[in-house]
Chain A
Amino acid sequence: MFHWLEQRPFFFAVMLFLTVAFAGFIEIVPDFSKASQPLVGKKPSTVLQLAGRQVYIKDSCNACHSQLIRPFKAETDRYGMYSLSGEYAYDRPFLWGSKRTGPDLHRVGNYRTTEWHENHMMNPPAVVPGSIMPKYPHMFTNLADLATAYANASTQKAVFGVPYDQKGMPKLGTWKEAKAQALEDAKKIASEMKNQSVKDMVAAGKVPEIVALIAYLNSLK
């Protein structure tokens, strides 16, 4: 049979494809719709938090930080309750990471504050002596991309039926409304920060990346 196949590249390619595709077909198809249902009460991210998530992705925080607490005592003692599938239901893309050069962040909102993040992102070793994390001062001057975050949320709503604008869920509305709401949220974060230029920018209606990122990190619980 193999000699026969090796002289007929077309059938060879068909056989090959079926052999290769088999595993994916068995593994992915049956459980696909079941595997990603939200936990009861799980809310999608606000526009400001999504803007922060985009900063997290832009600077590849996931290259060094996981967001997946495995069900071991050593992990739950260190990071909190182990992760559940339903907590990730609105995550596009998922951000589990594959390497912990730094600690897991899945529940970092439970034990770090706005002020801690502000100091830490500016100069990590000043907060955690011995830290090898890079400094991220550019996040204090670059502006968060709220417009894309809005597009992100409205795509989730329109294409994937994520429950924005429903009762008890975050409000999205029009771009104008969403922008005003994001600015409102940003002011709350900025009021807990001490960096004057960040406060000034937010007061002037501009949201630096650091504010959005902190909003996102605080939402990880």
Chain B
Amino acid sequence: MQSNAQLEYDYSVVKLFTFATILFGIIGMTIGVIIAFQLAFPELSNLAGEYGTFSRLRPLHTNGVAFGFTLSGIFATWYYVGQRTLKMSLKESKFLMTVAKLHFWLYFITILLAVVTLILGYTTSKEYAELEWPLDLLVVVWWVLWGVSMFGMIGLRRERAIYVSIWYYMSSFLAVAMLYLFNNMEVPTFFWSGDAPSSLMHSISMYSGTNDALVQWWYGHNAVAFVFTTPIIAIIYYFLPKESGQPIFSYKLSVLAFWGLMFVYLWAGGHHLLYSTVPDWMQTMGSAMSVVLILPSWGSAINMLLTMKGEWQQLQTSPLIKFMILASTFYMLSTIEGPIQAIKSVNAIAHFTDWIPGHVHDGTLGWVGFMIIASLYHMAPRIYKRELYSKKLMDTQFWLQTTGIVLYFTSMWIAGITQGMMWRAYDDYGSLLYSFIDTVEVLHPYYTLRGIGGLFYLIGFFMFAFNMYKTATSGRVLDKEPANASPMA
């Protein structure tokens, strides 16, 4: 069915989501740097009254970067990769175009409302599911719209087989839909308030205590899986071969890694609840399956690295390839680190410490952030039809951000293990050696270093924003698209 005539793709929605990625990236990461420094210099926590404390801002940071920055990036790439690998254009269907636009605007409004409500203290307290019930309903609406656009575009495709990237986007859509619905089952209390003038925004969870914890971490861990992992794998499966001109190393490895990841990932949620009051067998399953998870994770990562076989000199010439290869490497690092932390005896020390945010950030800054940045850089000349403004700036950004990430995770490793060991230290007489505050004061230098690392990353992000802005407005106009080999060809 493949026609050789050039399809005219429509990038208007891609551009909107690209803008949102940069905007929410700046907001989310700036708050991240602020709260990092608040832990090192606590006076910073009281500059804006109740609205500026670490505790109010922390959910704003996590939601901002996960659901603002990352999701925008995912949607931007979806509308680009989707059209191109399915060989269809949004121009062909008025309906899908409307759905896509509506998807963007509802999404954008939700995230803005999320910022406002979280600052005001409307939160359910469940991590990465903090939004209160009216916002949850909005999320469901635009998530469904994304699904409509996805399956609608698939329905109009000219390419019979669906490409690996599409498998991964599909998995994100389906899994997050299931996880989000079940974890956010909540009852608005307003309807049982009798004549009490109660808040319309408040709700309580459908599940209580241990059950609530179980559902929350089944969700929480897999929100990581299906927002920070699978769509990012979708991105790298498209953009690395495109940018490097190399075909994917192995189809079989893609299949194995994909279905392996789908089957194993959900089991691993239990590793957030080791030594808690959830049934022991689930903890053990969570722990064991987390170790098994190394296989499919490394499968994808190795597939990416081997795609560059014989072409490693590209690392010297293309900063974009550097971003993507380092991203795969960070993916390997964090998918070996996670399983290590999930081993029960290691978890006994690591849980509740800064090693956990350290782990999250080598994944999110190194893998998620770098891949989204790289994909936006790749798309920029093609959607704005202008040459990238500055490769040199891109290179500087790469090194600055890489340094930032290294500072971040090394300081958090040391901080976490130090604190974990101090909590359990005894003196010769069998009493606890350190009071809690001793174990906090010792962290000051590491918190400072982490803040500096985060600041480097943020400055790099501003360079990215500037570079993108300049590309869109004053890059040299291209009369035709920069050529790259196609993974579909």
Question: Contact residues of A with B, CB < 8 Å?
Answer: 2-3, 6-7, 9, 12-13, 16-17, 19-24, 27-28, 31-32, 35-36, 54, 57-64, 66, 68, 70-72, 74-75, 77-78, 83-85, 87-103, 125, 128-136, 138, 142, 145-148, 150-152, 154-156, 158-160, 174-175, 178-179
Complex partner residue of A36 from B160, B171, B194, B208, CB under 8 angstroms: B208
Contact with A along B123-151 (1 / 0, CB 8 A): 11111000000000000000000000001
Do residues A103 and B59 form an inter-chain contact, with CB atoms below 8 A?
A: no
**Smallest CB–CB gap between A131 and chain B, Å?**
6
**Smallest CB–CB gap between A38 and chain B, Å?**
9
- Chain B residues contacting A156 (CB-CB under 8 Å) are 204
Q: Does B109 contact A (CB under 8 A)?
A: no
Instruction: List 8 A-B residue pairs with CB atoms under 8 Å apart, sorted by A's residue number.
Output: A6-B161, A57-B125, A59-B55, A70-B275, A93-B216, A102-B440, A148-B189, A155-B204
Do residues A9 and B154 form an inter-chain contact, with CB atoms below 8 A?
A: yes
Complex Cα–Cα for A21 and B45 (A): 42
Q: Which residue of A lies closest to B204 (CB)?
A: A92
Question: Contact residues of B with A, CB < 8 Å?
Answer: 38-39, 42, 45-46, 49-50, 53-56, 58-59, 121-127, 151, 154, 160-162, 167, 170-171, 174-175, 178, 182, 187, 189-199, 202, 204-205, 207-216, 218, 255, 259, 262-263, 265-267, 269-270, 272, 275-279, 282, 285, 289, 348, 351-354, 356-357, 423-426, 431-432, 436-437, 440-441
- Chain A residues contacting B209 (CB-CB under 8 Å) are 36, 85, 87-91, 94
**Smallest CB–CB gap between B381 and chain A, Å?**
30
In the complex, besides A16-B170, A92-B208, A136-B50, 6 extra interface pairs with C-beta distance below 8 angstroms are A72-B348, A96-B276, A131-B437, A151-B194, A155-B187, A175-B196
Complex Cα–Cα for A147 and B202 (A): 11
Q: A60-B58, A99-B356, A175-B196 are in contact. Are A19 and B211 (CB under 8 A)?
A: no
Do residues B194 and A175 form an inter-chain contact, with CB atoms below 8 A?
A: yes
Do residues B151 and A9 form an inter-chain contact, with CB atoms below 8 A?
A: yes
Do residues B50 and A145 form an inter-chain contact, with CB atoms below 8 A?
A: no
Do residues B196 and A147 form an inter-chain contact, with CB atoms below 8 A?
A: yes
Listed from nearest, the 3 A-B pairs whose CB atoms lie closest are: A88-B209, A151-B193, A134-B45
Complex Cα–Cα for A151 and B321 (A): 56
Q: Which residue of A lies closest to B217 (CB)?
A: A98
Q: A24-B218, A28-B218, A35-B214 are in contact. Are A68 and B276 (CB under 8 A)?
A: yes
Complex Cα–Cα for A73 and B202 (A): 38
Q: Which residue of B lies closest to A2 (CB)?
A: B255
Q: Which residue of B lies closest to A89 (CB)?
A: B209
Do residues B55 and A94 form an inter-chain contact, with CB atoms below 8 A?
A: no
Do residues B170 and A13 form an inter-chain contact, with CB atoms below 8 A?
A: yes
**Smallest CB–CB gap between A7 and chain B, Å?**
5
- Chain B residues contacting A6 (CB-CB under 8 Å) are 161-162, 167
Do residues B192 and A151 form an inter-chain contact, with CB atoms below 8 A?
A: yes
Q: A7-B161, A13-B174 are in contact. Are A23 and B193 (CB under 8 A)?
A: no
Do residues B208 and A20 form an inter-chain contact, with CB atoms below 8 A?
A: no
- Chain A residues contacting B189 (CB-CB under 8 Å) are 148, 151-152, 154-155
Q: A154-B192, A175-B196 are in contact. Are A27 and B267 (CB under 8 A)?
A: yes
Do residues B192 and A138 form an inter-chain contact, with CB atoms below 8 A?
A: no
Q: Which residue of B lies closest to A53 (CB)?
A: B125
Complex Cα–Cα for A6 and B53 (A): 50
Do residues A36 and B211 form an inter-chain contact, with CB atoms below 8 A?
A: yes
Do residues A135 and B212 form an inter-chain contact, with CB atoms below 8 A?
A: no
Complex Cα–Cα for A39 and B285 (A): 26
- Chain A residues contacting B285 (CB-CB under 8 Å) are 27
- Chain B residues contacting A175 (CB-CB under 8 Å) are 193-196
**Smallest CB–CB gap between B204 and chain A, Å?**
4
